[in-house]
């Protein structure tokens, strides 16, 4: 007597020949099979019921359609001494086709941890000349045209992952997409002080999007309009006060450097007015007070950054007038790092963009 059995098989059915299923990997389905080939009633046992009727074997009804394919995606993460953050970040990017870690010669064990726990991640160490230069360097290293950029203190949520996967399943409508962020200060989300509109352009096609030559708070330049994704990053915005003060101080130096290189100057009144206006705008107009003490601290950090940026601009101007050496941070020496691919002259016999067509 043949017995009907079920088993779950990972794969896609290719054919059914000689009572054997042939499949390949790619989908989950259930097949029915039998312990003998006696599928029909045995004439020697007329009273015995058949093991199964032929119509009871609807293999095709149990096989879902194959999963849609999408355009390949590279993920880029930039780091410097992020041993406490990098693990969760890389975990949230595990679905990407490749991950590049662009590290600024960390000394806290970041690289060692990644090599041990994430051996598939490709590590490139590169001197830091600012956020834009570091991200452009990463864009030049990866193998795929579509790229997702994340900072070590950001996490890709499952909702954002699904939305990105779906966006890349068909021809994307835009060359780049902005992604909102949910910001957290010491474990609790803050929703105001301007952070309610926090969006960053991070999903991009590398032939049609690139960072311009700015030291800090630079936004992605795009060859066309920018789309918006509904999914959001989780952003560990302030993990400790010491870390945030160090970060704002560094950003202030870079911001002051950028203003100085642009030929800007400042005065006592401008230092005060820019700082006061930043605090009032974020704490009152942008409703920072609704976030309680975290809102006050967040806005205070923003105001400190503004104060330090204009203070450093004044310092650089005074040192220049005195003929003294300027302690400016090092700048990216590779000029091609700032070349916008869509602005390049097309090579002979080329349309300037390979086989890529505008979405």
- Reported residue count of the chain is 359
Condensed to tens digits (0 to 9), the pLDDT of residues 318-331 reads 999 999 999 998 88
> Which of 175-189, 279-293, 326-340 comes out lowest in average pLDDT?
326-340
| Cα separation, 317 vs 311, whole angstroms | 10
**CA dihedral in degrees (323, 329, 335, 339; nearest 10)?**
-120
Condensed to tens digits (0 to 9), the pLDDT of residues 56-94 reads 334 333 444 445 699 999 999 999 999 999 999 999 999
Provide the token pair at 316: 């650089």
> Which of 43-47, 212-216, 238-242, 243-247 comes out lowest in average pLDDT?
43-47
pLDDT of residue 346: 58
pLDDT reading at 312 higher than 70: yes
pLDDT of residue 170: 86
Which of 1-5, 91-95, 170-174 shows the highest mean pLDDT?
91-95
pLDDT mean over 292-316: 97
pLDDT of residue 215: 75
Q: Which residues are within 8 A (CB) of 85 and not within 5 positions of it... i.e. 6 or more apart?
A: 152, 153, 236, 239
Place of tokens 């662009």: 102
pLDDT of residue 24: 39
Q: Sign of dihedral through CA atoms 93, 124, 238, 226?
A: negative
Condensed to tens digits (0 to 9), the pLDDT of residues 196-207 reads 999 999 999 999
Residue 166's Cβ-side half-sphere holds a number of Cα atoms within 13 Å equal to 9
| pTM of structure | 0.77
């Amino acid at each position: 007597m043949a017995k009907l059995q079920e088993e779950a098989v990972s794969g896609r059915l290719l054919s059914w020949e000689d009572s054997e299923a042939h499949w390949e990997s790619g989908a989950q389905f259930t097949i029915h099979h039998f312990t003998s080939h006696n599928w029909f009633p045995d004439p020697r046992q007329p009273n015995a019921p058949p093991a199964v009727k032929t119509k009871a074997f609807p293999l095709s009804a149990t096989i879902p359609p194959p999963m849609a394919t999408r355009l390949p995606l590279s993920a880029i993460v930039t780091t410097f001494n992020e041993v406490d953050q990098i693990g969760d970040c890389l975990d949230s990017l595990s679905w990407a086709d490749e991950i590049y870690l662009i590290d600024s010669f960390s000394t806290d064990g970041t690289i060692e941890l990644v090599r041990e726990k994430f051996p598939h991640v490709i590590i490139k160490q590169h001197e830091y000349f600012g956020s834009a230069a570091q991200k452009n360097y990463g864009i030049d290293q990866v193998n795929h045209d579509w790229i997702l950029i994340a900072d070590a203190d950001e996490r890709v949520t499952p909702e954002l992952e699904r939305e990105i996967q779906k966006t890349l399943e068909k021809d994307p409508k835009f060359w780049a997409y902005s992604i909102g962020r949910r910001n957290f200060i010491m474990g609790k989300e803050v929703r105001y002080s301007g952070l309610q509109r926090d969006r960053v352009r991070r999903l991009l096609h590398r032939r049609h999007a690139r960072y311009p030559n700015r030291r800090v708070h630079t936004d992605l330049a795009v060859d066309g309009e920018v789309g918006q994704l509904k999914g959001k990053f989780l952003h560990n915005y302030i993990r400790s006060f010491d870390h945030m003060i160090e970060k704002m101080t560094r950003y202030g130096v870079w911001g002051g450097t950028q203003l100085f290189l642009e030929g800007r100057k400042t005065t006592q009144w401008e230092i005060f007015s820019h700082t006061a206006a930043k605090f009032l705008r974020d704490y009152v107009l942008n409703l920072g007070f609704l976030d309680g003490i975290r809102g006050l601290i967040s806005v205070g950090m923003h105001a400190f950054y503004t104060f330090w940026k204009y203070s450093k601009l004044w310092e650089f101007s005074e040192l220049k007038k005195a003929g003294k050496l300027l302690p400016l941070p090092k700048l990216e020496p590779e000029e091609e790092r700032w070349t916008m691919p869509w602005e390049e002259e097309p090579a002979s016999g080329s349309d300037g963009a390979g086989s890529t067509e505008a979405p």
